[in-house]
Structure 1
Amino acid sequence: MLNKLPVDERRAQLVECALDLAERGGISAVTVRAVAAHAGVSLGMVHYCFEGKDELLAAMAERLVLELSASARQVFAAVREAPEVSGVRGLRELLQSGVDGMWSTMEANPNRRLLTYEITTHALRFRAAGSPPTGAVADEQYAVMDAEVSAFLDECAERTETTWTEPVAVIAHRSLAALDGLVLRWLVDRNTEAIRAELDEVVLAITSKAVEKPPGRPVPRAS
């Protein structure tokens, strides 16, 4: 029965098995033999679906990118259900809700986030060694998150009748860099209280880049 799965379903199953192994033992735990054993299939089946470990790791990274994107959209969708607010103060409330939601998602599954960093580092090493296709995984991950956060910032500004004083892409890039650093620090010391305070500072920093639109006269947005 297992051997009759369509190739795309088989690939998805093997990627999930590989992610499970990596969450528990890191990338080094992901071998073709280990994935085959964990999935209950032959070595030949794994090789049929993936040329080797590198292609499997790339597929794992793509799955993580999709998960990050879906998680961000879910959090941001919940923020859309918040009561109507306006002005810079209202903008801060929406941003705080979004950041808190993203943090809660990360905190609920730290091993998955740690694995994301590990695969990103692996991809960057391949890029430095002259393997652009594998290295592109890191670029894709951050491009997706930049786009999701930029869209969220735009929507928050529109809802609160505020406008950004810098290009929203720049603000999103800077915000994600700050959040990345905080997540990594938390993975090291698990000091949630300290990180929560730092997250508040990040929200304040983002909010400082917005102003309220004058009544009846739209403020030119940064482009």
Structure 2
Amino acid sequence: MLNRLPADERRAQLVESALELAERGGVGSVTVRAVAENAGVSLGVVHYCFDSKEALVVAMAETVINQLSEAMHAAFDVPHDGPDPQGVRGLRQLLHAGLSAMWPAIESTAGRQVLTYEITAYSLRHRAAGTTLGDDIALRQYRMMDEQARSFLERCAERSGTIWTEPVECLARISLALLDGLVLRWLVDRDSEAIVGELDDIAGIISARAAERS
């Protein structure tokens, strides 16, 4: 029955198997044999879908990127009741609301969050060695997040009647750099109580770069 799965479903199954292994033991624990055993298939099945470990890691990274994109999009599009808060103060409220809505998804997927840093480091090591992984998966990951953040910032400004006083592309990079550091710190100390204030600090730092629309 397993051998009759459509190719796309088989690849998705093997990628999820690889992600499970990587969450437990890191990217280094992902081998063709380990993935086959974890998925309950033969080595030949894995080799048929992926011609190398690097190809499998690229597929893992693409899956994680898509999952991150979906989580960010869902969080930033949380429905709201009543009129939007206005002005720079209202902008800060909207930013904080979006960040706060995203945070539970981060906390509930701690293992996968660690894995995103591992895959990024793995990709950067390949780049340094002159063997770019896929289409430079680390760069693709951050460009995707940049796009999600830029769209979120633009919508918040539109809803609050404000304008950004700096290029929104730069603000997206700054926002993600701050959030990236916050996630990494939380993964180290798991201090969820501190996160509430720290997310508001990020919202304050970013909203300070806006003005009311005249």
TM-score (norm 1): 0.92
Q: Which runs of 4+ in 1 moved over 3 A?
A: none
- Give the structure 2 partner of residue 112 of structure 1: 112
Contact 1:123 1:135 in 2 (8 A): no
- Give the structure 2 partner of residue 150 of structure 1: 150
- Give the structure 2 partner of residue 168 of structure 1: 168
User: For the residues of structure 2 that align with 1:8 and 1:147, how far apart are their CA atoms?
Assistant: 27
SS in 2 for 1:81: coil
Q: How far has the Cα of 1:193 moved from its partner?
A: 2.4
> What's the Cα RMSD here?
1.2
- Give the structure 1 partner of residue 83 of structure 2: 84
Task: Point out where structure 2 has 5 or more consecutive residues left out of the alignment.
Answer: none
* CA displacement, residues 107-147 of structure 1 (integer Å, 9 cap, x when unaligned): 11111100111111001000111112437100010000000
User: For the residues of structure 2 that align with 1:110 and 1:211, how far apart are their CA atoms?
Assistant: 36
Please tell me whether residue 197 in structure 1 is matched to residue 194 in structure 2: no
User: For the residues of structure 1 that align with 2:100 and 2:43, how far apart are their CA atoms?
Assistant: 43
Q: How far has the Cα of 1:195 moved from its partner?
A: 3.2
SS in 1 for 2:126: helix
SS in 1 for 2:51: coil
Contact 2:123 2:133 in 1 (8 A): no
Contact 1:33 1:43 in 2 (8 A): yes
Q: How far has the Cα of 1:27 moved from its partner?
A: 1.1
Contact 2:76 2:99 in 1 (8 A): no
- Give the structure 2 partner of residue 18 of structure 1: 18
Contact 1:126 1:135 in 2 (8 A): no
Q: How far has the Cα of 1:93 moved from its partner?
A: 1.1
User: For the residues of structure 2 that align with 1:111 and 1:212, how far apart are their CA atoms?
Assistant: 41
User: For the residues of structure 2 that align with 1:162 and 1:16, how far apart are their CA atoms?
Assistant: 42
Contact 1:153 1:168 in 2 (8 A): yes
Q: How far has the Cα of 1:9 moved from its partner?
A: 1.3
Letter matched to residue 60 of structure 2: M
Letter matched to residue 153 of structure 2: L
Task: Point out where structure 1 has 5 or more consecutive residues left out of the alignment.
Answer: 215-223
Q: How far has the Cα of 1:82 moved from its partner?
A: 4.4
Correspondences of 1:1-223 after superposition (within 5 Å): 1-78=1-78, 80-85=79-84, 86-134=86-134, 136-214=136-214
TM-score (norm 2): 0.96
- Give the structure 2 partner of residue 219 of structure 1: none
Q: How far has the Cα of 1:43 moved from its partner?
A: 0.2
